[in-house]
Chains A and B, each alone.
Chain A
Amino acid sequence: MRNVAIIGVGYTPVFVSKRIDVSIAEMANEAANAVFRNTGLTIDQIDAVVQGNMQPFECVNLPYLWASEHIGAVGKPVMRIATGGTTGMTTLMCAYYHVASGLYDVVLAVTWEKHSDGDAQVGLAGIVTPEIFTMVMHGLDLITGRGMGGTSGGSTGAAAYQALSYLHHSGADPEHIDKMAALERSNAALNPYAHLRKKTTVEDIQATPFISWPLRYGHTCPTTDGATACIVASEEKVKELTDGNVAWIIGVGSCTSDPCTANFIEGQITDPAEQESCRIAAKKAYEMAGIEDPSKEFDMAELYDGFAHQSLMYAEKLGLCKEGEAHKLLDKGAFNIDGELPINASGGVFSTNAIGTSAMNRPCECALQIMGKIEGEHKIPKKIKKALAHGWGGLFQYNSVMVLSDTPKKSS
Chain B
Amino acid sequence: MERKVAIVSHVQTKHSSDIGMPRERMLFNLVKELHNKVGITRHDVDSYVLCSNDFEAGRTISTVFEDTPVGAYMKDETKVEMDGIMALIYATMRILSGQFDTALVVANSLGGSQFRPFLIMEYQLDPTFDRQVGLINELNAGAFQARSYMDKYGLDEWFLDAISARLLRNGAINPYALRSKDDATPEYVASSEYYYEPLRKLHCYPFSDGACAVLLACGEKAKELCEKPVWIKGFSNSLETCRLGERELYTSPSTKQAAEKAYKAAGISDPANEIDVAEISAKFAHQEPIICESLGLFPEGSAEDVAKNDLAEITGKMPISPSGGGICTYVFSAAGLINVAQCCQQLTGEAGDAQVPNAKIALAHGQDGFCAQHNSVVILSSEEG
Chain A residues within CB distance 8 Å of chain B: 1-2, 23-24, 54-62, 64-66, 68-69, 73-84, 90, 93-94, 97-98, 100-103, 123-124, 126-130, 252-259, 266, 276-277, 280-281, 284, 288, 393-395, 397-398
Cα of A93 to Cα of B90 in the assembled complex, Å = 11
Cα of A75 to Cα of B127 in the assembled complex, Å = 22
Partner of B237, one of A78, A128, A252: A78
Query: Assuming the A-B contacts A62-B82, A100-B99, are A57 and B93 also in contact, with contact meaning beta carbons closer than 8 angstroms in the complex?
Result: no
Cα of A73 to Cα of B147 in the assembled complex, Å = 28
B342 at the interface (CB under 8 A from A): no
Q: Which residue of B lies closest to A288 (CB)?
A: B99
B164 at the interface (CB under 8 A from A): no
Partner of A65, one of B65, B76, B124, B257: B124
Point out the residues of chain A lying under 8 angstroms from B239, CB to CB.
Answer: 64-65, 68, 73-76, 78
Whether the Cβ atoms of A256 and B67 lie closer than 8 Å is yes
Point out the residues of chain A lying under 8 angstroms from B86, CB to CB.
Answer: 79-80
B96 at the interface (CB under 8 A from A): yes
Query: Assuming the A-B contacts A75-B239, A126-B59, are A62 and B81 also in contact, with contact meaning beta carbons closer than 8 angstroms in the complex?
Result: yes
B75 at the interface (CB under 8 A from A): yes
The distance from the CB of A43 to the nearest CB of chain B, in whole angstroms, is: 13
Point out the residues of chain A lying under 8 angstroms from B64, CB to CB.
Answer: 84, 127, 259, 394-395, 397
Cα of A23 to Cα of B127 in the assembled complex, Å = 9
Point out the residues of chain B lying under 8 angstroms from A74, CB to CB.
Answer: 239-241
Query: Assuming the A-B contacts A100-B99, A253-B76, are A124 and B369 also in contact, with contact meaning beta carbons closer than 8 angstroms in the complex?
Result: no
Cα of A93 to Cα of B125 in the assembled complex, Å = 28
The distance from the CB of A59 to the nearest CB of chain B, in whole angstroms, is: 7
Most buried by B among A2, A97, A102, A280: A97
Cα of A64 to Cα of B76 in the assembled complex, Å = 24
B353 at the interface (CB under 8 A from A): no
Query: Assuming the A-B contacts A61-B120, A79-B90, A256-B67, are A123 and B97 also in contact, with contact meaning beta carbons closer than 8 angstroms in the complex?
Result: no
Q: What are 30 A-B pairs at a CB distance below 8 A?
A: A1-B97, A23-B128, A55-B81, A56-B55, A56-B60, A58-B127, A60-B127, A65-B374, A66-B242, A74-B239, A75-B239, A80-B86, A81-B79, A81-B81, A83-B63, A84-B61, A94-B78, A102-B96, A103-B1, A124-B60, A126-B60, A130-B59, A253-B76, A254-B77, A256-B77, A258-B67, A258-B73, A281-B76, A394-B61, A397-B67
Cα of A93 to Cα of B2 in the assembled complex, Å = 21
Within 8 A of A (CB), among B111-166: 120-121, 123-128
Point out the residues of chain A lying under 8 angstroms from B81, CB to CB.
Answer: 55, 62, 80-82
Would you give the 0/1 interface string for B347-372, flagging 1 where the beta carbon is closer than 8 Å to chain A? 00000000000000000000011100
Whether the Cβ atoms of B78 and A127 lie closer than 8 Å is no
Whether the Cβ atoms of A101 and B97 lie closer than 8 Å is yes
Partner of B78, one of A54, A93, A102: A93
10 tightest CB-CB pairs across the interface, nearest first? A61-B123, A100-B97, A101-B96, A126-B60, A101-B93, A84-B61, A82-B81, A56-B60, A256-B77, A65-B369
Cα of A222 to Cα of B1 in the assembled complex, Å = 45
Whether the Cβ atoms of A60 and B123 lie closer than 8 Å is yes
Count contacts between A and B, CB distance < 8 Å.
185
Point out the residues of chain A lying under 8 angstroms from B16, CB to CB.
Answer: none
Whether the Cβ atoms of B60 and A57 lie closer than 8 Å is yes
The distance from the CB of B374 to the nearest CB of chain A, in whole angstroms, is: 6
Most buried by A among B54, B67, B124, B241: B54
Q: Which residue of B lies closest to A86 (CB)?
A: B78
B236 at the interface (CB under 8 A from A): yes
Point out the residues of chain B lying under 8 angstroms from A102, CB to CB.
Answer: 1-2, 96-97
B273 at the interface (CB under 8 A from A): no
Partner of A75, one of B75, B242, B257: B257
Point out the residues of chain B lying under 8 angstroms from A97, CB to CB.
Answer: 90, 93-94, 97, 99
Cα of A368 to Cα of B258 in the assembled complex, Å = 34
Would you give the 0/1 interface string for B242-253, flagging 1 where the beta carbon is closer than 8 Å to chain A? 110000000001
B21 at the interface (CB under 8 A from A): no
The distance from the CB of A89 to the nearest CB of chain B, in whole angstroms, is: 10
Whether the Cβ atoms of B73 and A256 lie closer than 8 Å is yes
Whether the Cβ atoms of B99 and A59 lie closer than 8 Å is no
Point out the residues of chain B lying under 8 angstroms from A281, CB to CB.
Answer: 76
Point out the residues of chain A lying under 8 angstroms from B373, CB to CB.
Answer: 65
The distance from the CB of B124 to the nearest CB of chain A, in whole angstroms, is: 5
Point out the residues of chain A lying under 8 angstroms from B99, CB to CB.
Answer: 1, 97, 100, 252, 288
Within 8 A of A (CB), among B45-78: 53-55, 58-61, 63-65, 67-68, 72-78
